[in-house]
Every structure is written in structure tokens, then in C-alpha cells.
Amino acid sequence: MPGVDRIRAAGVVLLRRTGPVPEVLIVHRPHYNDWSLPKGKLDPGEQEIHTAIRECDEETGFQAVLGPRLPSLHYLVDGVPKVVHFWSAHSSSDEGFTPGPEVDAIRWIPVDESRHLLSHAAEAELVARAAGLPQTSPLILLRHTAAAKRSDYRGKDDSERPLSGKGRSQAKALVPLLDAFGITDVHASNAVRCHDSVRKIAKHLGTGVQHEPTMSEEGFQDRPERTARRMRKVILDPAPLVMCSHRPVLPTLLEVAAEVLGTAEMTSEDPDRDGVDREARWDPKLPPGGFIVLHRSFEAGVEPRLVAIERHVVASD
């Protein structure tokens, strides 16, 4: 593959747990005459999250909702390194399967059978890992998108400072990224720049933005203990949700999350699962529009706990 130094791809381990045993969806590729997991290469300008959702839709007709990220697979294609990023997932809807030249059949099979049917042992291992995880609910901590510079803002109240043009573009780009994790509730500091960062995703979901004064810079500076107390309640809310706040507040939010949920992950020992090591995944330093996903487990009779953590940066023009 001349001119290509690395091939990037993404896919899902799509599980359903409606019967006596968990099942995984696999696809048949006529060109290779094999069974595989839904996956494919990134389109130009696409992020891995987009690709995982799109490929599952195009190959199977199922709309995937992403859960914890799984280890990436690395191998060579005609001498070129290829990396495939995977997420565990479940489906929110079935749009119907249409056979095509890349995938001509799909099958739901018991998880235990995947090691016999999947052509690649590494994919079967991913299925086993995903099936061994508890069901999760995401809590997404989002730093607001790019705002107008303080030095350029002429207003008296900094909480009214708006997004910049870049920030508005980032807010639009965040919609499919946040939606991919199946969030239903939208929370934000009452600052305009936080509200407007998530207004579009709230509209997409058909819900409102719940304002959180304690998550604002001013609320945090005045009463940091109230911010921490509120965060504890948010963490214990099992709803899939996003919380949009500010750079100075994020360290405290993550400290509380670590205190309540713990920091031990259940997904893998892979230190480079999402491009950063385990410690760096907890780094509160996010760029505007960057976010951290805390995948929480709420099993009956067990304290809420962390299953996985991942971080993402919204692509900007």
C-alpha cells in the first residue's frame, strides 16, 4: 500500500443478553469466506467512534451503543501496520440487514461458539472479554468547547462569555460522539459557554439542559465542598449522562469519581488501549471539547464501581 504508513480501523463487539446465554453478532465476508466482527477503516476526517458506529450500521443494520473500550488489535496488511479499535456494545435499534459484496450474512451466536466460528483468535478473545464485563452506564465529563477569549470579551459577567466560532463547530461535532455512548441526560454549568456546548446534543435527544450552578467556576471557587457533594450524587445517578464543566473544576470532579468508584479498571491490562497509559487516562487536563467517559457498573447488592475509563478529543477544523 504505497504512501500509507498505518491503516486505522474500528469496530464493535455487539452483544445481546435477551436469552439464557449472551450472544454476539458476527458477519460473513464473502471475499474472505470467513466470519468476523463488524469493523472497517476510517473514512477521511472520521474519528474512531464514528467509524465503529457507522460500520456496525452499514454491515449489519444494527444501531450500536458503545460501552467500555476494549484492547486494540495490531497486525500487518501487506507489510503495513494496521490497528483496529474495538468497543463492547449493545444495539438500540435494528434497521434491517441488507446483504452486500462486503458482508452477505450475519448471525447471532452464543458467545462460547465465537472461538470456533471467528476466523481470528484475537477477535474471539475480545468477545470473551466483552461478555465478561457487567452492564454499564456512562458518565461523561466534558470540558466546554472553545470560548471567546477573556481579553476580547466586553461583558461584565464572565459567565455570559459565549463560545467562539470554533467552539460552535466543536459543539456540533460533539453530538454524534456523545450520542454514541447512549446518553439520555444532559447537565452543564450555568455558564453560557457550558450550556451552549451541550445545547445541540440536548436538542438531538429531545431533552433540556439541567443547569448545575455548583459546577461553574464561580460556584466552585465559592464553595468547593458543595461541588464535591453534588458530584457524588451525580456519580450515583445510574442514568447515562454528560456533565459539562470548566478546566479548573475538572480535577475535583475526577478526584471525587476516583473516591466513589475506585480507579481499578476491568477491561484489560493493555497500557495503550486508547493511545495513553492508565495514569494519563485520569489526567484532568482536557482541551476545549475534550471529554472523559467513566463506564460505571450498578449491579444489585454491590457498590457502584468503575469498569473502564477512556478519553477523547473532538476533532476541529
Classify domain 7-131 at the CATH superfamily level.
Nucleoside Triphosphate Pyrophosphohydrolase (3.90.79.10)
Separation CA 73–CA 264 (nearest Å)? 22
Distances (CA, A) of 90 to 21, 32, 131, 169, 170: 15, 26, 11, 29, 27
Q: What is the mean pLDDT of residues 198-209?
A: 99
**Residue 19 pLDDT greater than 90, yes or no:** no
Q: What is the pLDDT of residues 122-160, one digit of tens each?
A: 999 999 999 999 999 999 999 999 999 987 777 778 888
Q: Which long-range contacts (CB under 8 A, 24 or more apart) does 130-134 make?
A: 130/13, 130/15, 130/24, 130/67, 130/68, 130/70, 130/88, 131/15, 131/22, 131/24, 133/67, 133/68, 133/88, 133/266, 133/267, 133/307, 133/308, 134/266, 134/297, 134/299, 134/307
Q: pLDDT higher for 2 or 262? A: 262
**pLDDT of the residue at 159:** 87
Confidence of residue 317 (pLDDT cuts 50, 70, 90): low
**Residue 271 pLDDT greater than 50, yes or no:** no
Q: What percent of the chain has pLDDT over 90?
A: 86
The domain spans of the chain are: 7-131, 136-312
Q: What percent of the chain has pLDDT over 70?
A: 94
**Mean pLDDT, the chain, as a whole number?**
94
Q: What is the mean pLDDT of residues 212-233?
A: 98
**Residue 61 pLDDT greater than 50, yes or no:** yes
Confidence of residue 276 (pLDDT cuts 50, 70, 90): low
**pLDDT of the residue at 315:** 82
**pLDDT of the residue at 265:** 86
Q: What is the pLDDT of residues 280-298, one digit of tens each?
A: 889 999 999 999 999 999 9
Residue of 99, 84, 86 lying closest to 28 (CA atoms): 99
**Burial class of residue 144, CB neighbours in 10 A (0-12, 13-18, 19+):** buried
**pLDDT of the residue at 150:** 82
**Residue 3 pLDDT greater than 70, yes or no:** no
**Residue 9 pLDDT greater than 60, yes or no:** yes
**pLDDT of the residue at 154:** 75
Q: Which fold has domain 136-312?
A: Rossmann fold (3.40.50)
CB-CB contact of 261 with 294 (8 Å): yes
Q: What is the mean pLDDT of residues 205-221?
A: 98
